[in-house]
Amino acid sequence: MVRSKNNHIESFELSAGDLINGKYQIISKLGGGWEGEVYRIREKGTQIERAAKFFFPQRNKSNRNSTRYARKLHKLRNCPVLIQYHTREEVIFEGPTPVICLISDYVEGELLSEFLNRQPGKRISIFQGVTLLHALAVGIETVHKHGEYHGDLHAENVIVRRYGLGFDLKLLDLFHWEDTHKANMQEDLVDMIKLFHQAIGGKKHYRNQPDEVKWICCGLRRNLIIERFRSVRRLREYLETMQWD
């Protein structure tokens, strides 16, 4: 375990084979961020693979963030685009403060960032980009219908499970901001269009994109995007009826 000078945990450094609470065995690290780290684990009794998110105690005071995260996932358990939450564990590492760990589904797939890096020129075609944006809109719309939002949409938080005629996606790391839900829903809308812009080549290729693409992207001007589409539902409806010259 790595600690900073102020004794905050900076990394758990769990290794393959480590046992958690006598029930879960570490397989590999999946990623990390501001709140904590996520590991691929195996449930000993069933051999079922899961994912475990370990929260840094200094970023989870009074278990506030982990509790919000678990409750939000439970509230949104019928949204197919989200990973399903299972249970909460308290883990004792070094020191008296337990580390909170949330157990959820482990989803096979590839991060969108990695998927894009594998493509020729590290970008996808306009048609593929529109298909990706539509899949995101359909998924996020179900979240918004429950009165919630994602709050942290970017290429490291989107898993591509399958790709063919369409994208099968799962979203990671819901976030809780203190702003109103309406403002956060609008940010989801803006972030989705930023992902579309990134996926089809970003700033480098934007100048040569057709007018239909530029009309969707609005030059990534937040206020114009919100004024034009208002909601993720309206964006989804537009994509399903848009005309190409």
What's the mean pLDDT in 196-222?
A: 95
Q: What is the CATH number of the domain that holds 196?
A: 1.10.510.10
Residue range 88-127, pLDDT digits in tens: 999 988 767 789 999 999 999 999 999 999 999 999 999 9
Same domain, 25 and 116: no
If you write DSSP's letter for every residue of 105-167 in order, what string do you get? E----EEHHHHHHHSGGG---HHHHHHHHHHHHHHHHHHHHTT------STTSEEEEEESSSE
What pLDDT is stored for residue 5 in this prediction?
59
What's the mean pLDDT in 227-238?
A: 97
pLDDT of 6 higher than 90: no
Other Cβ atoms less than 10 A from the Cβ of 94: the count is 10
Q: Which residue, 105, 132, 151, sits at the end of a domain?
A: 105
Point out the least confidently predicted range of 114-118, 161-165, 186-190, 228-232. Answer: 161-165
What's the mean pLDDT in 39-44?
A: 95
Same domain, 128 and 65: no
Distance of CA 118 to the CA centre of its chain: 20
Q: Strand ranges (DSSP E) for the chain? A: 2-3, 9-11, 19-20, 24-32, 36-43, 49-55, 85-91, 99-105, 110-111, 158-163, 167-171
What pLDDT is stored for residue 4 in this prediction?
66
Q: What is the pTM of this model?
A: 0.89
Element (H, E) at 189: helix 181-199
What's the mean pLDDT in 31-57?
A: 92
Q: Which residue, 105, 136, 156, sits at the end of a domain?
A: 105
pLDDT of 235 higher than 90: yes
Instruction: Name the phi and psi angles at 15, rounded to 5.
Output: -115, 155
What pLDDT is stored for residue 90 in this prediction?
94
Same domain, 188 and 207: yes
The position carrying tokens 């306009």 is 126
> Residue 64 — pLDDT band, cuts 50, 70, 90?
very high
Same domain, 130 and 99: no
Same domain, 101 and 161: no
Q: 189 to each of 31, 44, 59, 226, how far by Cα in Å?
A: 25, 41, 27, 8
Longest dimension (CA), the chain: 65
Q: Which residue, 79, 105, 131, sits at the end of a domain?
A: 105
The mean pLDDT value of the chain amounts to 92
Same domain, 118 and 97: no
pLDDT of 65 higher than 70: yes
Same domain, 99 and 127: no
The residue count for the chain: 245
Same domain, 61 and 153: no
Q: Give me the domain span that covers residue 187.
A: 110-241
Q: What percent of the chain has pLDDT over 70?
A: 97
Which two tokens mark 27? 């397989």
The answer to whether residues 122 and 116 touch, using CB atoms and an 8 Å cutoff, is yes
Number of structural domains found in the chain: 2
Residue range 116-168, pLDDT digits in tens: 999 999 999 999 999 999 999 999 999 999 999 999 999 999 999 988 778 99
